[in-house]
Amino acid sequence: MRQQQSMTSSGVSIIHAAHLMKTFGALLALDDCSITVERGEVLVVIGPSGSGKSTLLRCLNGLEEIDSGRIVIDGIELNHRESNRLRIRREVGMVFQSFNLFPHLTVLENVNLAQKLVRGRSTGEATKQARLLLDKVGVGEKLDQYPQQLSGGQQQRVAIARALAMQPKVMLFDEATSALDPEMIGEVLDVMRSLAREGMTMVVVTHEMGFAREVGDRIVFMESGRIIEQAASTEFFENPASERTRQFLRQIL
């Protein structure tokens, strides 16, 4: 099994997370969660509301601090060393449900900011990269607009471009389409789909089962902070091992 792989192996796995525990006061948000993600793999995390999906994702780039367990990303251990945390965040992009674009900056400035500050690129280099990515996600015409002037779907695509501009090795998506009007969900999923096709390593939390089934290589099912089941996509949807998973899929499909 993948979970048994050695944590220190420099094999193809890019994310090793083992025995993660996380509490919020008395609430056990993550209860001994372990996942591994291979390079180029798309891991989809599903589960009922409050099951700990976001928490798991946010622990992977240190937005939440784990109580115990171990996280190694691309050979770098996420620990108390600030420099490690920063190095990991540089390699891990994240897309949020609420976009979190910078409202005081234009689209172009949003995409350029971290490139310049963190990657040390010149405005020229950053802008070149930004144009490329904004074109790719289909908002190349909006460079000088402010986020408020865009639709939700456009904002989310800018947010994806902003994360991609850092040339991350891994992308985390936390319900990237949940805040969108139905007619805009498709355009964002299209962008994610093409990213997956290009071989981007992705961890995706979503309620879009069709997308999970189509794009996900592997599915993790969570409930009450625990990983109930993880399996290859087809196997997971066609022949789920746990009764709880079958119940969940019946409800949601």
According to the binding rule CB under 6 A, does residue 54 interact with ligand ATP?
A: yes
According to the binding rule CB under 5 A, does residue 51 interact with Mg ion?
A: no
Residue placing its CB nearer to another protein in the complex, 70 or 85: 85
Radius of gyration of the chain (CA): 18
Q: Return the residue of 7, 31, 39, 50 that touches ligand ATP, per CB under 6 A.
A: 50
The span from the CA of 66 to the CA of 43, in Å, is 20
The span from the CA of 144 to the CA of 72, in Å, is 38
Write the DSSP string, 11-33. Answer: SSEEEEEEEEEEEETTEEEEEEE
Closest CB 80 distance from another protein, rounded Å: 13
Q: Return the residue of 17, 33, 59, 101 that touches another protein, per CB under 8 A.
A: 101
Residues facing residue 30 across a β-bridge: 22
Write the DSSP string, 158-174. Answer: HHHHHHHTT--SEEEEE
According to the binding rule CB under 6 A, does residue 53 interact with ligand ATP?
A: yes
According to the binding rule CB under 5 A, does residue 54 interact with Mg ion?
A: yes
Residue placing its CB nearer to Mg ion in the complex, 99 or 111: 99
Residues facing residue 203 across a β-bridge: 43, 172
- The tokens of 206 are what? 């979503």
Residue placing its CB nearer to another protein in the complex, 35 or 101: 101
Q: Which of residues 13-42 bind ligand ATP (CB under 6 A)?
A: 24, 27, 29
According to the binding rule CB under 6 A, does residue 51 interact with ligand ATP?
A: yes
For the chain, the straight-line distance linking the first and the last C-alpha, in angstroms and rounded, comes to: 28
Residue 191 identity? V
According to the binding rule CB under 6 A, does residue 49 interact with ligand ATP?
A: yes
- Is residue 227 within 8 Å of 249, Cβ to Cβ? no
The span of 11-19, 140-148, 223-231, 237-245 binding another protein (CB under 8 A) equals 140-148
- The tokens of 247 are what? 């119940």
CA torsion through residues 195, 101, 207, 186, sign: negative
Residue 159 identity? A
Q: Which of residues 184-243 bind another protein (CB under 8 A)?
A: none
According to the binding rule CB under 6 A, does residue 251 interact with ligand ATP?
A: no
- Please give the residue ranges that form the binding site for another protein (CB under 8 A): 61-63, 86, 89-90, 92-94, 96, 98, 100-104, 113-114, 117-118, 146-148, 159, 162-163, 166, 172
- Please give the residue ranges that form the binding site for ligand ATP (CB under 6 A): 24, 27, 29, 47, 49-55
- Please give the residue ranges that form the binding site for Mg ion (CB under 5 A): 54
